[in-house]
Amino acid sequence: MLWLLLLPLPLPALGAVEKTLGIAPHLVSKYVPSRSNTWTCLDGLKEIPWDYVNDDSCDCADGSDEPGTGACPNQSFYCQNEGHIGSFIPSSRVRDGLCEPNCCDGSDERPGVCNNVCQEVGQAYKTKAAEETKIRKTQGSKIRSTYITYAHKEKKRLEEVIETSAAQITTQEKEVARLRDIAERAESLSAAALEMKQQSPLYTSLITHSNALKSLQREHKKHLQREKELSNILDALRSGYNPNYQDMAVLEAVRGWEEIAGLPHINDVGKDSVSDEEAGVEEDTVPDVAQTKEEVEDEMWSAEELENDLDDLLNSDYISLLLEHDEYVQSPPEGSVLFDIASYLPDAIVPQYEEFKETILSLLVSFGIIKSEISSSTGTSLDTSRSRQVLTDAENELNKVKKEKENAENDLKEIFNIHGYGLEGEWKKLDGTCLRTENGDYTYEVCLFGEAKQIPNKGGSTFSLGKFASWDPSPDVKPGEEAYYQKQIYNRGARCWNGPERNVVLLLSCGTENTLNSVVELEKCEYQFTGTTPALCRPLDSFEGRNGKKSQAGKDEL
Amino acid sequence: MRSVVLFGSFYALLALPHALAVKSQDFKTCSQSGFCRRGRALAARAQEAQSSWKSPYTVDPSSIVISSDDSTVKAAVKSSLYPEIKFGLELRIHDDGVVRVLLDEVDGLKKRYDEAASWALVSEPKLSKGIRWAAGKKELRAVFGEKNDIEVAVDYDPLRVRLRRGGEDQIVLNGRGLLHMEHFRSQTLKETIEEVASDENAEGQEVLQVENVRAWFEGDSEDAYWEEKFSSWTDSKPKGPESLSLDITFPNHGTVYGIPQHATNLSLPSTTGDSPSYTDPFRLYNADVFEYLASSPMSLYGSIPVMHAHSADTTVGLFNAVGSETWIDISYPTKKSTHTHWISESGIMDVFLLPGPTPEEVFAQYARLTGTTALPAHWSLGYHQCRWNYVSSDDVRTVQRRFDEEDMPVDVFWLDIEYAQDHKYFIWDHKTFPDPVEMTNDVAAAGRKMVVIVDPHLKRTSDYPVYQEASDLDILVKPKSGEGEYEGWCWTGSSSWIDHFNPASWDWWISKFKTTQNDTGFSWTESTEDIHIWNDMNEPSIFNGPEITMPKDSIHHGGWEHRDVHNINGMLFHNNTAQAVRLRSDIPKRPFVLTRSFFAGSQRVGAMWTGDNLGTWDHMAVGVKMVLANGIAGMAFAGSDVGGFFGNPEPEMLVRWYQVGIFSPFFRAHAHIDTKRREPFLLDEPYKSIVRDILRLRYAMLPIWYTAFRENSVTGMPIVRPHYVVFPQDTAGFAIDDQFFVGSSGILVKPVTEKDKTEATVYIAEDQVYYDYFTQYAYRGSSKGKHITVAAELHQVPVFIRGGSIIPTRERPRRSSPLMKLDPFTLRVALSKTGTARGDLYLDDGITYSHQQGEFVWREFVAEQSQKKTTRISSRDLASHNPGKAVDGIALTTFDPKNAFAKEIEEVRVEKIVVLGLNSKPRSVNVEGGAELKWEFVPGVAASDKKEGVSSVLIIKDPKVLITTDWAIVIS
């Protein structure tokens, strides 16, 4: 047992290390022994012999006595990395036999395990940093500054739009007021008579037909929509059903759908040397064939006409028609002869008379001598509905201008909004810019601040993956800082079969072009896009500012 | 973080729908299975006949032949129902007292399948020579065993086999007269007519046979003899009826365990008798049961026909070597006895009676028959991170990076089926995995491994070389015609299956896994030795097959029907894959191959998991029981998917599941493709830090686990041990299956598997001190058994050290287990009431088979009171004293404590010793013959006290003693 005495001798070499190893620069001053050669743990809770510091045995509850050995968990080990930049690694990586890339001086391992490669690493880092700087400074940030210029121009343009529209609004409001006055007067003249005419069985029947047709159209559209949704669901079921559910009912549903839609069985697609492409074409053409085969009876509308022309028909001005109708059936004149004196006059003088009548009548009416309500000749009735139409048009025009102004105002607000196009407006330029990338069987597209989509390359339905919702919503990230603009959220896309609504997280970084680089569906229906944009290439001074502020993070990336 | 913040609300929405449940209509009940129906009807007739019932099977005493070495007896058996049919009985006595009982039809029309045992057994058992058989008038007897206390008796009329000890029957075969071996017969014309006449009702041919003299026994109808329909499938049954019914009675054992895999209690509930727990028998028919029930006798993915019968007096075991579908009824006629009834569809009777008499000896006897789990690769005991699916090589890299950023240890990243182009296993989908080798190397750079799935279904397409080669070699399973290739539907669409029963498939399959170019065909050059394998779906799972598996009339090598070999099928695939992984490198390395399907003997090959569980509390709880039950049946390297495969567990459930997981031999988190990502780094605080600590606890305890695996590999003792194994005489503990011990370490665990728990009740079976692992609180049990209540807040998992144990751990957190190789140890010395403790520690390189050449370290730590008031803690080599029992696979004759591995770790030291329960503050602590050590003492309850409370704790700082050398530390 004598040899046991010798045991402690070789051990310090493999256990304890230099007292200063692994200590963060700002803490070095705290690692000095007291006069009685003791040391107090950094949490102040325990005093230990100075020998215990970095002796590869954990003594302090806070682990502060072992900055250099990894004997205490959850510590940080500082590599000095002379010739490069100092760096922290977790204590779990100290003396684990692996040379940490962040510890180019090899101080994290036992002597002789790792070479000091700080010279090369430092050089490579500088080269890389220089390249990054170049991109930011000379290319990316230049483009970015054009975006900012654009935003300012856009701001100016919008302000002009607002100004112009404001003027237009004033003018138009006056015009609307004038027209409203005319229309109201015309209407008050004919209201009672019109009401009478509207009692006509033909008219009421027309209205009923119209209502029925409208209802039918609404139902039709609803059904079309439902059919589309159902076919989407079934398409999704067909191409994505999970055979692990081993549900024969699902298989039957798929087969049934394929029969109705004239699709090949999904499992046969690609089989028997039918390429997916051909199968895709087939998918698209089959329904068309079915449609053209459908015989259309004479005078009956085709589906296309229903689609395109029905709205026009339903938007007909029935009042105008009613009044025009009167002309055709030559309903007996009503009211004063004065109003319809033209019919008793020779044709030759009718134009003159008409001109005269207009003047007289308007005079009489305006002086309150006769009331226009008793005038209900067909001509004036038509005038009434037309004046209403003119008014509506004018009002629409007014609303349009107002809307324009409002939009411009909103856009103006967004341009330099921290939550919108950024404090400098650098994102405004990219509003509506669409980035695409191909990934497997799909092309993925995101229109910035708009919508993200999944477009099948071989035919089939395009799915919305979501609409722009916000920048990085994480509470850890402050709006306005660079990280905030490195993430966009698009959500509320098309719902997955048996799953959530599709959504996208778009991760952006500085690059000289606007590109979409990768798409990955990390879990079902949740996509992660990565891309680059010059909008994130802040100029060098702000870059340095960031680096200064987050020096620790910066170094960890080395 | 991203998903949690953004989509946190989805968690609530996507919580597991209540409607999730097994599709029970996809699987047969006993009443839908012809032979099970016949077997149960037979039992019902016997029940009705009561004492007038007599088995028609008898032994012809004149036919008894004893082999020249006296180990084996053969005799002719006849059934009075069919006097013209011949049966042969054979008894073999093994040198460890196991009795093997075989019964087969002799000179029958066809041959019954008799190879199940040959697949299960590790080698031909050694027979015990010189048994003295006594053939009497009524019975044949033999007494044997080391103490001559085991007896086997064969009664002639009716046939009955009894294993006895101390004059008491332990196991009785055909004691209830339910033995029935349906002989091969021809389908007579009459039967054919009946078949036609019975219109569509094929299941219940109730055509009256007026003069059926056998009806009292066999029933009145030929129920599903020649054809059987289930749902839309028809089983053609070309061989006709050939089932085997056998009752096995344990007249003196009131508890039975085993016959995994079922989602049920460890102590098996009854299926017949008065108010049975289940109405159907336990079924063994490997099946891919989608969303299985958390309490059911239904079949699951694996089958081990092994049963232990236990009482406070003795434990006996039974291994029924049958590979066909088998149903087992269990009833408890009294508290102290058990009836079982085994109904198998085909095959000979080949039953091994394991005499015990202790659980330990039953494990050893079964281990000698079917082998033990080979010592696994050490890294495979670390944490496995799986998901269906990590979608790209960059995804894998990102997941690895996130683990490292969070300083959470992990050893293995897994790839499920989506890595493979069109699910053509081995063939990477280069759109998403453009650089599989580089990816694997990136993972391996941190000492980690990858496990990649290779399933047994081969896509039937000529551009898939693995299929094409198998097709060309004619080694695929054949359809019922026996010609061509069986075609079924799986992930791959139209698929075929390799017939691993065909020896021609073996070397070919092994060659597929070579990482270098093959002369003879495809080899997996796009892989590295850091890729290990996952065999899933090997029941086999076939989506359009009856009961989601292969039609029973499909044909395997040798013309055997699938029905004969179904339960063995998965094991062969697993075995051949493991051989392939072992042999792909020049220096064989320990393979890791996970299987879902298994059979008796699968334990030799590798790990299993409990399949596609649900993210629910009851599945978490039953997973613990299933892992224990698998251990009882030898399948020691077992675990359940942490988090549950289906569903989105809430953070509390996930944390609890990790607590369960770290105390499973196999520790993997897995998730279905439809679930939210749930890698531990995605958790919010405080859950994330709790799980980090849980993971680190697993890694700290790896020495305990590895040491337990060594023991298992040599003795067959389970890795996780239920109460009855440790305390076989404590009747109150027989049914306990929610707490267990880890190996022989003395670690007792009671994982919390219920929601909103802040306390747990733990059963202590003995009058001993148990220390809380974390708080060092000393609890005291009682010899009568005692329940203690302990705190179990979410961050707390109740773990105890049994007084008298020394626990070696490695407490330095690392990224992966290989990086801990040179880390120092901490020893927790938990003193017993009498002030003693012991523990052992086994280490080797964890990768190669050099341990079989003696390159390992096996130490014993002992704490004893050498003189009054002196406690001596010492370390000594265990292997030199017992080289033959150190490692599995080879009986070493000598051991060199300074072997090459020991040299590699010679600088590894003990950095801390914690002694719990000392009586008083030591006067001095020093290395024997050396200087005073540095230490601290916190007074508290002593081990020998009667009271409870935080124990006294002595912390010896860095004694600088080495793991590989002998030393002693004296505490005066």
Average pLDDT of the residues in A367-382: 49
Q: Note down the domain range covering B133.
A: 46-181+243-370
Q: How many angstroms separate the Cα of B947 from the Cα of each of B438, B788, B943?
A: 60, 14, 9
pLDDT range class, residue A352, cuts 50, 70, 90: low
In a domain, B819, yes or no: yes
How far apart (Å, rounded) are the C-alpha atoms in residues B402 and B420? 25
CB contact under 8 A, B2 and A474: yes
pLDDT at A180: 83
In a domain, A210, yes or no: no
How far apart (Å, rounded) are the C-alpha atoms in residues A241 and A250? 8
Residue at which a domain ends, from B351, B370, B389: B370
CB neighbour list of residue B752: distance below 8 Å, 6 or more residues apart: B656, B659, B760, B792, B797, B798
| pLDDT-wise least confident of A197-201, B31-35, B189-193, B910-914 | B189-193
Residues on chain A touching B822 (C-beta within 8 angstroms)? 95, 97
Residue at which a domain ends, from A75, A98, A116: A116
Q: What ipTM was predicted for this assembly?
A: 0.87
CA quadruple B268, B270, B275, B281: dihedral, nearest 10: 130
Q: What's the number of CA atoms in the CB half-sphere (13 Å) around residue B68?
A: 0
Q: From the CB of residue A75, how many other CB atoms can be counted at a distance below 10 Å?
A: 25
CB contact under 8 A, A7 and B927: yes
Backbone angles phi, psi at B143, to 5 degrees: -115, 135
pLDDT range class, residue B204, cuts 50, 70, 90: very low
Please name which of A87, A80, A56, A58 lies closest in space to residue A69, comparing C-alpha atoms: A56
In a domain, B836, yes or no: yes
pLDDT range class, residue A550, cuts 50, 70, 90: very low
In a domain, B172, yes or no: yes
Q: From the CB of residue A128, how many other CB atoms can be counted at a distance below 10 Å?
A: 11
Q: From the CB of residue B127, how many other CB atoms can be counted at a distance below 10 Å?
A: 17
pTM of the model: 0.83
| pLDDT-wise least confident of A322-336, B472-486, B950-964 | A322-336
Q: What's the number of CA atoms in the CB half-sphere (13 Å) around residue B513?
A: 26
How far apart (Å, rounded) are the C-alpha atoms in residues B325 and B33? 10
pLDDT at B198: 47
Answer yes or no: is pLDDT of B147 > 80.
Answer: yes
Q: What's the distance, Cα to Cα, between the start and end of chain B in Å? A: 54
B645 touches B613 (CB < 8 A): yes
User: Which residue in this structure is represented by tokens 């005799």?
Assistant: B75
Task: Express each pLDDT in B761-777 by its tens digit.
Answer: 999 999 999 999 999 99
How far apart (Å, rounded) are the C-alpha atoms in residues A523 and B227? 46
Pairing between β-strand B967-971 and β-strand B925-927 as defined by DSSP bridges: antiparallel
Backbone angles phi, psi at B789, to 5 degrees: -110, 130
CB environment A352-370: b (16+ within 10 A), e (fewer): ebeeebeeebeebbeeeeb
pLDDT at A364: 58
Task: Express each pLDDT in B807-854 by its tens digit.
Answer: 999 999 999 999 999 999 999 999 999 999 999 999 999 999 999 999
Q: Is residue B844 flagged as an active site residue? A: no
Pairing between β-strand B306-310 and β-strand B315-320 as defined by DSSP bridges: antiparallel
Q: E-strand spans in B396-481?
A: 412-415, 449-453, 457-459
Number of structural domains chain B divides into: 2
A322 touches A378 (CB < 8 A): no
Q: Is A473 on the interface with B (CB under 8 A)?
A: yes
CB neighbour list of residue B162: distance below 8 Å, 6 or more residues apart: B152, B153, B154, B155, B169, B170, B171, B172, B173, B175
CA distance A282 to chain B (A): 22
B88 touches B104 (CB < 8 A): yes
A319 or B593, which is more confident: B593
How far apart (Å, rounded) are the C-alpha atoms in residues A181 and A172? 14
In a domain, B688, yes or no: no
Nearest CA in chain B to A110: B822
Please name which of B35, B28, B25 lies closest in space to residue B224, comparing C-alpha atoms: B35
Number of structural domains chain A divides into: 3
When the pLDDT of each residue in chain B is averaged and rounded to a whole number, the result is: 94
pLDDT at A282: 41
CB contact under 8 A, B930 and A7: yes
Residue at which a domain ends, from A116, A131, A147: A116
In angstroms, how far is CA B395 from the centroid of its own chain? 33
Pairing between β-strand B668-669 and β-strand B641-642 as defined by DSSP bridges: parallel
Residue at which a domain ends, from B345, B370, B395: B370
For testing contact with chain B, the best of A2, A3, A4, A75 (most B CBs within 10 A): A4
How far apart (Å, rounded) are the C-alpha atoms in residues A434 and A516? 9
Q: 3-state DSSP call for residue B382?
A: coil
Task: Express each pLDDT in A37-67 by its tens digit.
Answer: 999 999 999 999 999 999 999 999 999 999 9
B803 touches B788 (CB < 8 A): no
CA distance B948 to chain A (A): 26
How far apart (Å, rounded) are the C-alpha atoms in residues A363 and A443? 70
A422 or B251, which is more confident: B251
Residue at which a domain ends, from B343, B370, B397: B370
pLDDT range class, residue A186, cuts 50, 70, 90: low
B954 touches B915 (CB < 8 A): yes
Task: Express each pLDDT in B857-870 by its tens digit.
Answer: 999 999 999 777 89
In a domain, A264, yes or no: no
pLDDT at B877: 96
Residues on chain B touching A267 (C-beta within 8 angstroms)? 493-494
The pair of three-digit structure tokens given for residue B849, joined into one six-digit string: 């088979």
How far apart (Å, rounded) are the C-alpha atoms in residues A472 and A478? 9
B471 touches B459 (CB < 8 A): no
Q: Is A474 on the interface with B (CB under 8 A)?
A: yes
Task: Express each pLDDT in A103-122 by its tens digit.
Answer: 999 999 998 999 999 999 99
pLDDT at B739: 98
Nearest to A4 among B819, B957, B967 (CB): B967
Q: E-strand spans in B166-243?
A: 168-173, 180-181, 228-230, 233-235
CA distance B965 to chain A (A): 10
User: Which residue in this structure is represented by tokens 């040391």?
Assistant: A39
The pair of three-digit structure tokens given for residue B667, joined into one six-digit string: 């520790």
Please name which of B218, B216, B194 lies closest in space to residue B207, comparing C-alpha atoms: B194
pLDDT range class, residue B472, cuts 50, 70, 90: very high
Please name which of B653, B658, B671, B665 lies closest in space to residue B613, comparing C-alpha atoms: B671
Nearest CA in chain A to B231: A248
Check which CATH number belongs to the domain holding B63 and give it: 2.60.40.1760
CB contact under 8 A, B911 and A71: yes
How far apart (Å, rounded) are the C-alpha atoms in residues B69 and B65? 12
The pair of three-digit structure tokens given for residue B889, joined into one six-digit string: 């696979």
In a domain, A73, yes or no: yes
How far apart (Å, rounded) are the C-alpha atoms in residues B145 and B99? 11
User: Which residue in this structure is represented by tokens 């032979």?
Assistant: B35
Nearest CA in chain A to B543: A246
CB neighbour list of residue A341: distance below 8 Å, 6 or more residues apart: A353, A357
Task: Say what percent of chain B tops pLDDT 90.
Answer: 91
Please name which of B632, B581, B641 lies closest in space to residue B606, comparing C-alpha atoms: B581
Answer yes or no: is pLDDT of B802 > 70.
Answer: yes
Indicate whether A538 and A463 sit together in one domain: yes
In a domain, B671, yes or no: no
Residues on chain B touching A440 (C-beta within 8 angstroms)? 431-432
Q: Note down the domain range covering A459.
A: 432-556
In a domain, A182, yes or no: no
CA distance A71 to chain B (A): 7
User: Which residue in this structure is represented by tokens 């709790």?
Assistant: B690
Q: Is residue B69 flagged as an active site residue? A: no
Backbone angles phi, psi at A511, to 5 degrees: -160, 160
Average pLDDT of the residues in B608-635: 97
CA distance B459 to chain A (A): 12
How far apart (Å, rounded) are the C-alpha atoms in residues A350 and A357? 10
B781 touches B833 (CB < 8 A): no
User: Which residue in this structure is represented by tokens 């597929």?
Assistant: B512
User: Degrees (nearest 5) of the Cα angle A418, A423, A426?
Assistant: 115
Amino acid at A275: S
How far apart (Å, rounded) are the C-alpha atoms in residues A432 and A411? 13
Check which CATH number belongs to the domain holding A444 and give it: 2.70.130.10
Answer yes or no: is pLDDT of A470 > 90.
Answer: yes
Q: From the CB of residue A311, how many other CB atoms can be counted at a distance below 10 Å?
A: 11
Indicate whether A345 and A446 sit together in one domain: no
How far apart (Å, rounded) are the C-alpha atoms in residues B730 and B766? 9
Please name which of A369, A306, A474, A273 lies closest in space to residue B462, comparing C-alpha atoms: A273
Answer yes or no: is pLDDT of A500 > 90.
Answer: no
Q: 3-state DSSP call for residue B802?
A: strand
Check which CATH number belongs to the domain holding B888 and give it: 2.60.40.1180
pLDDT at B506: 96
A461 or A91, which is more confident: A91
Please name which of B636, B714, B574 lies closest in space to residue B306, comparing C-alpha atoms: B636
Residues on chain B touching A93 (C-beta within 8 angstroms)? 815
CB contact under 8 A, A440 and B10: no
Q: Is residue B536 flagged as an active site residue? A: yes
In a domain, B346, yes or no: yes
Answer yes or no: is pLDDT of B138 > 70.
Answer: yes
Nearest CA in chain A to B931: A5
Average pLDDT of the residues in A385-400: 82
Residue at which a domain ends, from A116, A147, A162: A116
Answer yes or no: is pLDDT of B9 > 60.
Answer: no
Q: Which candidate in B539, B561, B730, B845 is catalytic?
A: B539
Ramachandran class of B61: left when φ > 0, alpha when ψ lies in -120 to 50, beta otherwise? alpha
Nearest to A14 among B23, B432, B907 (CB): B907
pLDDT at A361: 60
CB contact under 8 A, A15 and B958: yes
Residues on chain B touching A491 (C-beta within 8 angstroms)? 6
Q: From the CB of residue B192, how many other CB atoms can be counted at a distance below 10 Å?
A: 11
Indicate whether A355 and A461 sit together in one domain: no
In a domain, A411, yes or no: no
Residues on chain A touching B25 (C-beta within 8 angstroms)? none
In a domain, A102, yes or no: yes
B808 touches B826 (CB < 8 A): yes
Indicate whether A362 and A453 sit together in one domain: no
Answer yes or no: is pLDDT of A268 > 50.
Answer: yes
Q: Is A14 on the interface with B (CB under 8 A)?
A: yes
Indicate whether A112 and A19 sit together in one domain: yes
Residue contacts between A and B (CB atoms, under 8 Å): 125
Residues on chain A touching B814 (C-beta within 8 angstroms)? 92, 96
How far apart (Å, rounded) are the C-alpha atoms in residues B569 and B599? 8
Q: From the CB of residue B810, how many other CB atoms can be counted at a distance below 10 Å?
A: 20
A537 touches A511 (CB < 8 A): yes
The pair of three-digit structure tokens given for residue A445, joined into one six-digit string: 């597209």
pLDDT at A388: 77
Backbone angles phi, psi at A335, to 5 degrees: 80, -165
How far apart (Å, rounded) are the C-alpha atoms in residues B273 and A275? 61
Q: Which candidate in B90, B151, B194, B612 is catalytic?
A: B612
Answer yes or no: is pLDDT of B312 > 50.
Answer: yes
Helix H or strand E segment including A350: helix A350-366
CB contact under 8 A, A245 and B490: no
In angstroms, how far is CA A160 from the centroid of its own chain? 28
